[in-house]
Structure 1
Amino acid sequence: MKAPSHPLKVAIIGAGAAGLYATTELLRRDACARVDLFDRLPTPGGLVRSGVSPDHAARREVSAVLERMAVASGRFRYFGNVAYGRELTLDDLRRHYHATIFACGAVEDRRLGIPGEDLPGSHAATHFVGWYNAHPDQAERRFDFDCERAAVIGNGNVALDVARMMLLPIDLLRQTDIADHALDALSTSRVREVVILGRRGPAQASFTAPELLELTHLPGVAVEIDGVIPDDVPASLPASQRLRLQILHELRWRRSAPAPRRLILRFQRSAEALLGEDRVVAVRLVENRLVDDGRGGIKAEPGSTVETLEVGLVFRSIGYRASALPRLPFDDSRGVIPNQAGRVQGEDGLVQGLYVTGWIKRGPNGVIGSNRFCARETVDALMADAGSLKARPPMDLHNDLPGSLQRRGIGITDHRGWQQIDRIERERGLASGRPRRRIAARRELLAIAASGPA
């Protein structure tokens, strides 16, 4: 007589967009599957919560929608404040689950590798973004806005976010859910000019057209373009690239009304060094020329023109990078876990029962919605393997891993605890005329989560 098959039990590590998309896709595809979602922070959402700018709060709704879908299934549990490699081990996961999907993302920033990068006043954009979004790991950082000009090195959406947050009028920031400590610090900021530096030309910029278009509507901010924008945009270019160039062309020739603050987009400039003794006082720039990279693309090569730009604050925004995870293979050159369509690839072949999705799978690229298709591919692979996974059930399939962690004294935030945090943040916001007041301290988050049902 054939032994009964147990429902598929899956752990997902990382509760950002990638993990939430994988959760809902798996629950949709398998009507009996059960999913436990773990995150190292007390709150779910990942970069949807801590990376989206406060003035773009509507974009965070995707996280809430996915979360409601998962909870409605009745086969989903969330456990926060549980980190893989700290509270969770690979052996734990293998003993309790048929499969594990790693959706940890890429939380480290890429470095410039230039002299002066570690001077006071030089920061990673990822740290600044986490700071103004009340990320528990960044809440204690300090940023000195006692200068008139700041520079952002990088040409993506995060670079535009960083610049916008320094230039938005404080009255507008008071209407958002920006962290209280960031609101206090920015209210006394002396920054009146932000220069965004891109090493390549306007056509190769990484920011999207909607983010660029938003700059044209910043109250009290004049936008200037320092770079050659073609009068005629080639029809052969992708539509998104043509639209960016058209917007830049209009900005280049538009006469801006006098404004108290300026945003300057400078192209074909690379930072050679950050200058200063006790803190950053300037950035040394080299003007680049654009050449064919031999693969159908364009690369920047340093020219002979060098200049010095006086600044008191510098943010590097040249991308995110993932870190290796304990006992998992890692491609350091690409910053990803090697995989085939989501199946983890080890030195000796595919590793049974281990999968990846999101930035840890494909690298830090795409927007929030890109994770939907990425997760779908990974879940396709897992579902194709479901028969072999069920044929070899884990040793402790019927024992509850989260219960075991709680017995070890680990303060876990479950979904009810997160609802409690969410309710308190919204109530505090309502009392002060804001959408929510974010809680940054991990200890307070855990205390609220444990204080009672939502």
Structure 2
Amino acid sequence: ISALFILLCVRGLSSSSGPRVCIVGGGPAGFYTAQQLLKARQDAAVDIYERLPVPFGLVRFGVAPDHPEVKNVINTFTQTAQHERCSFHGNVNVGKDVTIDELRQAYHAVVLSYGAEGNRSMGIPGEDLPGVFSAKDFVGWYNGLPSNKELHPDLSFETAVILGQGNVALDVARILLAPVEMLKETDITQNALEALAGSKVRRVLIVGRRGPLQIACTIKELREMVNLPNTRADMLPADFEGIAEALKDLPRPRKRLTELMMKAVKEGGDDKAEKCWGLRFFRSPVEVLAGADEKRAAGIRLALNKLEGSGESVRAEVTGQLEDVDCGLIISSIGYKSIPIDPAVPFDPRRAIVPNEMGRVQDTAGLYCSGWVKRGPTGVIATTMNDSFDTARVLIQDMEAGKLDLSVNKPGAQAITALLQTRGVRMVLFSQWEKINAEEEKRGKSLGKAREKLLDVDEMLKIAWS
């Protein structure tokens, strides 16, 4: 008999008759799922469990500091967290502090929304050398993710190479090249701001294995690069051969994006600019090259590719030609990946997702998923919103179709809180997060910025519980 069941018997916990749903992960997927459930069922109670003491996941730790408008969704999430039928429980590491099976016993349904905190490996020699970082960790460093506070990237080199051409890659390039004046009023961490103020990086190459018609970023991100003060575009006209003829057949968003790239190729930008950036196409990394001392990265070897196939299925095939680029900073932006949370939850290691049918976890009644752990780490916050709303709708349908037994009273957070107490785990409630929030805003104000994020979990907890 599980510890949870004993606790329930001992305490004789009863519950309200409505459905109790637990959400694992306090990022956008978790909050959007909660929002939809609360709206759809007037009797539902929703508890959100988050490993960190602070909520909002990638909105806090992934969105670029100079995109404050994207972070406005935090206002909506705050309203959800303050809803009378919703509770936030931070500082709870599900899979370690409490198991999925224990949550399933305490709730009518459990939704996994814990995102993608793993890094995809490049699988090339030398990728573990100092000077090579994942974009996820680099973004976490300048955005104040506690686990990345000790990163200390060496910015004393002129050239940085970013592998991957999605929005995250362009965010990183922009942060590396942006005038410090542009960043100092944002919520970028003070230690990152100081490092960037002393940075010697003057050139950033953003490398992709396919061509301009397959680039993964959006036009907004590219336009910000084109308009970055004191920087010019450094493109290779050869990469754009035959592109003009292909323009007329492209869907409008892709056409506009391609036209903007071609304009950057043609105009290049201000010759007096001190910094430059460039997109490099048809190239795949094959090896990180060490310096003479063999102690750190000093360059990258790229294989030159040609494209085979057509349309969306076009793929890059190596030609046998190689190109070496000298650089002291290499950032791999080839994607995040989800990792298994608990042996009781099925996991597809190849696709790095929880196998599911429209959000229903395979072969596990009452278990659901939403966001990146459901569909893989793609899309923007709006994509995650729609995806999470879909999962919530499926869950509600299952309640209404009798697939979830709501006739059984479930104790919800009452049982889990009691269980965590016996294990010495103390939670951070939303009102306690608000103390952390107030402290960050206070520290930010003294520095002339929106907030100065706390980087140390122990310090967060101290303030939360003060």
Equivalent residue in structure 1 for 2:36, among 13, 20, 25:
25
Give the conservation status (yes or no) of the 8 Å contact 2:366–2:404: yes
* 3-state SS, counterpart of residue 329 of structure 1: coil
Aligned-partner Cα distance in 1 for 2:392–2:181 = 45
The residue that corresponds to 2:240 in the other structure is: 228
- TM-superposition CA deviations, 1:74-117 (whole Å, max 9, x none): 10110111111111212320221111000011111111111111
Aligned counterpart in structure 2 of residue 302 of structure 1, from 318, 322, 328: 318
Q: 2:102 aligns with which of 92, 112, 119?
A: 92
Alignment correspondent of 1:450: 465
1:436 equivalenced with 2:436 (yes/no):
no
SS where residue 389 of structure 1 aligns?
A: coil
**Corresponding residue number in structure 2 for 1:417:** 432
One-letter amino acid matched to 1:314: I
Displacement after TM superposition at 1:398 (Å): 8.2
My pick for the range that moved more, 115-124 or 169-178, is 169-178
Normalising by structure 1, we get a TM-score of 0.94
Deviation at residue 221 of structure 1 after TM alignment: 1.0
For 1:158, the equivalent position in structure 2 comes to 168
- Trace 1:14-413 onto structure 2 (pairs within 5 A): 14-71=25-82, 73-226=83-236, 227-228=239-240, 230-257=243-270, 258-276=272-290, 277-292=294-309, 297-326=313-342, 327-346=344-363, 351-386=364-399, 387-391=402-406, 393=408, 396-397=411-412, 399-413=414-428
2: CA distance between counterparts of 1:407 and 1:378? 33
Aligned with 1:375: secondary structure? helix
CA contact (8 A) 1:27 1:70 kept: no
Q: Is the 8 A contact 1:79 1:402 kept in 2?
A: no
Query: 1-side partners of 2:443 and 2:413: how far apart?
Result: 41
Q: Matches of 1:270 and 1:218 in 2, distance apart?
A: 27
Of residues 225-234 and 380-389 in structure 1, the stretch that sits farther from structure 2 once superposed is 225-234
Residues 3-37 of structure 1: CA deviation (Å, up to 9, x unaligned): x9810111000111100100000000001100110
CA contact (8 A) 2:282 2:316 kept: yes
- For the residues of structure 2 that align with 1:413 and 1:222, how far apart are their CA atoms? 47
Q: Confirm or deny: 8 A CA contact 1:39 1:79 kept in the other structure.
A: yes
Deviations 1:142-199 (A, max 9, x none): 2111111110011101110111111111222211111122112222111111111111
The question of whether the paired residues in 1 share the 8 Å contact of 2:81 and 2:88 is answered with no
Between the aligned partners of 1:85 and 1:425, the Cα distance in structure 2 is: 29
| Structure 1, gaps ≥5 residues long | none
Deviates more, 1:121-130 or 1:83-92: 83-92
**1:405 shift after superposition:** 1.7
Aligned mates of 1:398, 1:367 — CA distance in 2: 31
Q: Distance in 1 between matches of 2:337 and 2:148?
A: 17
Alpha-carbon distance, 1:426 to partner: 0.9
SS at match of 1:369: helix
Q: Identity of paired residues, percent?
A: 38
Q: Which of 426-435 and 10-19 deviates more?
A: 426-435
Query: How many pairs were matched up?
Result: 442
8 Å Cα contact 1:95/1:394 also seen in 2: no
Q: Distance in 2 between matches of 1:411 and 1:187?
A: 39
Q: State the Cα distance separating 1:225 from its structure 2 match.
A: 2.0
Contact 1:94 1:394 in 2 (8 A): no
Structure 2: which 5+ runs fail to align? 1-14
| 2:230 partner amino acid | G
Q: Which moved more, 1:390-399 or 1:103-112?
A: 390-399
| Local SS of the residue matching 2:404 | helix
Superposed displacement of residue 266, structure 1? 0.7
CA–CA distance in 2 between the matches of 1:139 and 1:310?
27
Q: TM-score, normalised by structure 2?
A: 0.91
8 Å contact kept, 1:107–1:320 = yes
2:108/2:406 contact within 8 Å kept: no
Alignment RMSD: 1.7
C-alpha displacement at 1:412, in angstroms? Answer: 1.4
What letter corresponds to residue 438 of structure 2 in structure 1? Answer: R
* Contact 2:173 2:204 survives alignment (8 Å): yes
